[in-house]
Chains A and B, each alone.
Chain A
Amino acid sequence: DAGVIQSPRHEVTEMGQEVTLRCKPISGHDYLFWYRQTMMRGLELLIYFNNNVPIDDSGMPEDRFSAKMPNASFSTLKIQPSEPRDSAVYFCASSLAHIYSGELFFGEGSRLTVL
């Protein structure tokens, strides 16, 4: 089975540019999560969806960040405009409903560098 697929794996951009990160969850999973990992702040939950509906976006840093899940097999995280402090590894993860106790399956991450 294919795991969670993220693209791009690496992105280098200049401050002010728009960045779009993409995620394809595991087929059949109904939860999707976006996490950000930095040395300073560790793993932070940005937003998560259940059945394509955003449930909790309290971790989204500010209005420059937005996330969408137009269907069960695709999600995007967009940063516009990007800033150097957005440099981090962004992980997407998916899981089945809580009856499976919430084990998350992570993608390999998208490493973003904003110059």
Chain B
Amino acid sequence: AQSVTQLDSQVPVFEEAPVELRCNYSSSVSVYLFWYVQYPNQGLQLLLKYLSGSTLVKGINGFEAEFNKSQTSFHLRKPSVHISDTAEYFCAVRIKAAGNKLTFGGGTRVLVKP
């Protein structure tokens, strides 16, 4: 069975500073990878996804992520954060040949300070 580990439960960061959120997964088969964002009192929204091709994936709101197959990682980055990026971020994995079931990591809370 696949699993997803988000190494940081909370990440405080100052406005306009860069941020990196770490995600590692374990799976013996090919996967699709996703990052979702959850703003306070809302559902999850897709930030970006890796399906195939270029390992650097660009998403909404200036976020990007890099797929590293050898390290089984899919870290999320943003070069300059805004106050509005304060949210919880979830990494998720789906096995390519196994339906639409997503397995989520535990989430990383990002708090952007002025």
A residues neighboring B (CB under 8 Å): 4, 31, 33, 42-43, 45, 48, 50, 55-56, 91, 93, 95, 97-98, 101-104, 106-109
Q: State how many angstroms separate the Cβ of B76 from the closest Cβ of chain A.
A: 16
**Is there contact, CB below 8 Å, between B102 and A91?**
no
Tell yes or no: B56 within 8 A of A by CB: no
Cβ of B14 under 8 Å from chain A: no
Is B44's beta carbon under 8 Å from chain A? Answer: yes
Closest to B44 in A: A106
Q: A42-B106, A102-B32 are in contact. Are A95 and B43 (CB under 8 A)?
A: no
Nearest residue, chain A, Cβ from B90: A43
Bound together, the chains give a CA A97 to CA B94 distance in angstroms of: 13
Q: Is B7 an interface residue (CB 8 A)?
A: no
List chain A residues, Cβ under 8 A from B102: 33, 45, 102, 104
Tell me the smallest distance from the CB of A78 to a CB of chain B, in Å. 21
Does residue B42 face the partner (Cβ distance < 8 Å to A)?
A: yes
23 A-B residue pairs with CB within 8 Å: A33-B101, A33-B102, A42-B105, A42-B106, A43-B104, A43-B107, A48-B100, A48-B101, A50-B100, A56-B101, A93-B43, A93-B44, A95-B100, A97-B100, A101-B32, A102-B94, A102-B100, A104-B44, A104-B46, A104-B102, A107-B43, A108-B41, A109-B42
Given contacts A95-B100, A101-B32, contact A106 B43 (CB under 8 A): yes
Greatest chain A CB density within 10 A among B32, B43, B105 is at B43
**Chain A minimum-CB-distance residue to B94:** A102
- By a CB distance below 8 angstroms, the chain B residues around A4 are 43
CB of A103 within 8 A of CB of B34, answer yes
Alpha-carbon distance A104/B100, docked complex (angstroms): 9
B101 and A45: CB pair below 8 A? yes
B45 CB–A CB distance under 8 Å: yes
Chain B residues whose C-beta falls within 8 Å of the C-beta of A104 in the assembled complex: 36, 44, 46, 100, 102
Which residues of the other chain, B, contact A101 by a CB distance below 8 angstroms?
32, 49, 51, 94
CA distance A95 to B43 in the complex (A): 14
